[in-house]
Amino acid sequence: MTKEVLNSQPPHIEQELHRQQASVDLRSARPVIDRAQAVETHGINGDIMAIISLPGEGVEGKAKEIGVVDYGEPDPANPSPVFIFEGQPLKMFGTARTRYGLWALNYVSEELIGTYTAFPEGAITKLGRASDVADTINASHFLGLSDGSQGNQAISRQHATVQIKDGQLTVWDHSKNGTKITYANPEATQTSTELAMIQEELGNEALGAAGVVMPENENAGQKIAELTAHLSEEDQRELRYYASAMGDKRTAQARGAGEDSIYLSQVAGRHYRQLSPEARKIASQYERLFLSE
């Protein structure tokens, strides 16, 4: 099950996995918690890009939350401390050995001072009560998930597997009780005011009408080429994305899918905001031609 949470800052997606997998492109994603806030609230000196939640007692009955932290590319000449307390790095935690790390966010292990492990790109990392001694990362032990740790009754022995490869975070759930992953919604960047401004610029027909606008003529492709000949490749690409989202939005409206329609409006709005002033002038005309191809 996937749920969009719009009243959070930034808006984010919560995905519940039951013997399923989910992926997040960390190269284009925004942090769930940015570095400044992560230092203030957790002492973690990096952007928290996603949160993996495992069922358990945790703190105040909550699930155990594990943050996927981005410290930035490691710089041997200027290593980044992983933990900061009262403005000073704590040497006991050391420096980031890899770009990414895993941190317990709402609990601490009774066995370890810091509930943290490195998260090397490409490596398969296992999460669960079964601490595999052959696992060189042994994340479950360092994250306080292994057998004997408090609050793990609902966590399976082989609960989940996580990996980052080519900037893509993938979570596989193997458990009985499921795994949740939370990440920032890359599309939900427009406020209602911004969407209203876009609608005002394009006219009510462009964003408000249900049903596809009829073509102006039969040779839409040629007309699009002529209309956009003076624009950059980036503008032409964003116009295609914008018009495509608008067509999908109208389809969603026609079938009464209100949530999908709102989401697609946000997608269209994001691409519209990337357009140059020149491209915005022709966006409405481009959309009519594009949807008539």
Highest-scoring range by mean pLDDT, 64-68, 126-130, 184-188: 64-68
243 and 138 belong to one structural domain:
no
104 and 216 in a single domain? The answer is no
Among 124, 157, 184, the domain boundary falls at 184
The answer to whether residue 188 scores a pLDDT higher than 50 is: no
pLDDT at 113: 52
| pLDDT band (50, 70, 90) for residue 163 | very high
Whether residue 275 has pLDDT greater than 80: yes
- Do 33 and 125 lie in one domain? The reply is yes
Beta bridge partners of 44: 83
Helical H segments across 209-257, by residue range: 220-228, 233-254
Q: Say if residues 248 and 208 touch (Cβ distance below 8 Å).
A: no
**149, 165, 184: which is the final residue of a domain?**
184
Chain centre to alpha carbon of residue 151 = 28
Count of helix runs (H) and strand runs (E) in the chain: 9, 13
Query: Is residue 210 predicted with pLDDT exceeding 50?
Result: no
State the pLDDT at residue 221: 79
**Number of independent structural domains in the chain:** 2
Cβ–Cβ contacts within 10 Å for residue 179, how many? Answer: 29
Q: State which residues form the domain around 198.
A: 192-291
pLDDT of 152 above 90: no
What's this model's pTM, rounded to 2 decimal places? 0.61
9, 133: one domain: yes
**Under 8 Å between Cβ of 43 and 84:** yes
Q: Based on the domain organization, do 259 and 117 belong to the same domain?
A: no
Judgement on whether residues 31 and 14 belong to the same structural domain of the protein: yes
Band of pLDDT at residue 115, cut at 50, 70 and 90: confident
What pLDDT is stored for residue 61 in this prediction? 57
What are the b/e assignments for 92-119, b being 16+ CB within 10 Å?
ebebbeebbbbbbbbbebeeeebbbbbb
What Cα–Cα distance (Å) separates residue 10 from each residue in 5, 13, 37, 115? 9, 10, 12, 26
Tell me: pLDDT of 257 over 90: no
- Residue 207: pLDDT over 80: no
In the numeric block, the tokens 């795994």 are attached to: 179
**pLDDT at 148 (0 to 100):** 65
* % the chain with pLDDT above 90: 24
238-247 tens-digit pLDDT = 898 888 878 8
Q: Which of 138, 163, 184 is the last residue of a domain?
A: 184
pLDDT of res. 171: 93
* Sign, CA torsion 123/177/108/112: negative
Place of tokens 């067509």: 247
* Side-by-side strand order, sheet with 21-25: 21-25, 168-173, 160-165, 125-127
CA–CA–CA angle 152, 18, 59 (5° rounding): 30
Residue-wise pLDDT tens digits, 59-91: 445 788 999 999 998 888 888 899 988 888 887
Residues 14 and 129 in one domain: yes
Average pLDDT over residues 25-47: 90
